[in-house]
Chain A
Amino acid sequence: DSGVTQTPKHLITATGQRVTLRCSPRSGDLSVYWYQQSLDQGLQFLIQYYNGEERAKGNILERFSAQQFPDLHSELNLSSLELGDSALYFCASSVLGQGGFGGELFFGEGSRLTVL
């Protein structure tokens, strides 16, 4: 058990819909990362938050947005869903160390999104 909790574990929805994925980081970790994993793309970095503020952005579509709340949990919002958005979405947390390097990432078990 990594200490990172993601909900829901599975989600099936239709094209054009909007979903929200939730992540609670490990106790004490200030940094949250979101990754998308699909069969053809591998693990792709989407976005990072540190203590409530966006810290780095990766290949995140404009239809996707995220935020980190004062209690440090994070939500990833996916809207106008397309078939190609079907994937596993992972949240990870880390202790952001000196110079911005967070060391090892602790991953949750993921949210499997299926868009029909």
Chain B
Amino acid sequence: SQKIEQNSEALNIQEGKTATLTCNYTNYSPAYLQWYRQDPGRGPVFLLLIRENEKEKRKERLKVTFDTTLKQSLFHITASQPADSATYLCALSRASGGSYIPTFGRGTSLIVHP
């Protein structure tokens, strides 16, 4: 069956360091992969999207890589700040009946310590 795996353990890092979050998937061939940020009790907020034929995408302090051979995406936040503390969700989309429905991983909590 299809599986999207994100580290369930919280990632604790010091301010200023680079945070790296992992999203692995099995039995899946996504056309698109997205990363979202979710704060407690709030709706997810879109951060970055990468297509299956792209290797890397950047936006300000954020970088996403997508390796369809390893079936893995890495999400990096450089120069991390305490305000970056949140849960980060990856979402994979593939065609299904003419629609692309994002399927979400369970997220990894990031805690940035001052």
A interface with B by C-beta (< 8 Å): 2, 4, 33, 35, 42-43, 45, 48, 50, 55-56, 58, 88, 90, 92, 99-110, 112
Residue on B with the closest CB to A58? Answer: B101
Partner of B95, one of A2, A99, A110, A112: A99
The 4 A-B pairs of least Cβ separation, nearest first, read A107-B43, A42-B106, A104-B46, A43-B104
Query: Which of A45, A48, A103, A104 is most buried by chain B, counting CB atoms within 10 A of its CB?
Result: A104
Interface residues of B in 41-95 (CB under 8 A from A): 41-46, 49, 89, 91, 93, 95
A88 to B87, CA, bound (A): 16
Q: Mark B19-49, 1 if CB is under 8 A from A, else 0.
A: 0000000000001101010000111111001
Residue on A with the closest CB to B102? Answer: A105
A42-B107, A43-B89 in contact; A102/B100 too (CB < 8 A)? yes
Taking the closest CB of chain B, its distance from the CB of A29, in whole angstroms, is 13
Which residues of chain A are near B100, meaning CB under 8 Å?
A: 99-102
A100 to B103, CA, bound (A): 15
A55 to B43, CA, bound (A): 22
Partner of A56, one of B31, B34, B96: B96
Q: Contact at B105–A42, with CB atoms within 8 Å?
A: yes
Residue on B with the closest CB to A56? Answer: B99
A115 to B18, CA, bound (A): 41
Q: Contact at A101–B93, with CB atoms within 8 Å?
A: yes
Q: Contact at A2–B45, with CB atoms within 8 Å?
A: yes
A108 to B44, CA, bound (A): 8
Q: Contact at A107–B45, with CB atoms within 8 Å?
A: yes
Residue on A with the closest CB to B95? Answer: A100
A15 to B34, CA, bound (A): 36
Which residues of chain A are near B42, meaning CB under 8 Å?
A: 109-110
Which residues of chain B are near A2, meaning CB under 8 Å?
A: 43, 45
Q: Contact at A106–B46, with CB atoms within 8 Å?
A: yes
Q: Contact at A101–B44, with CB atoms within 8 Å?
A: no
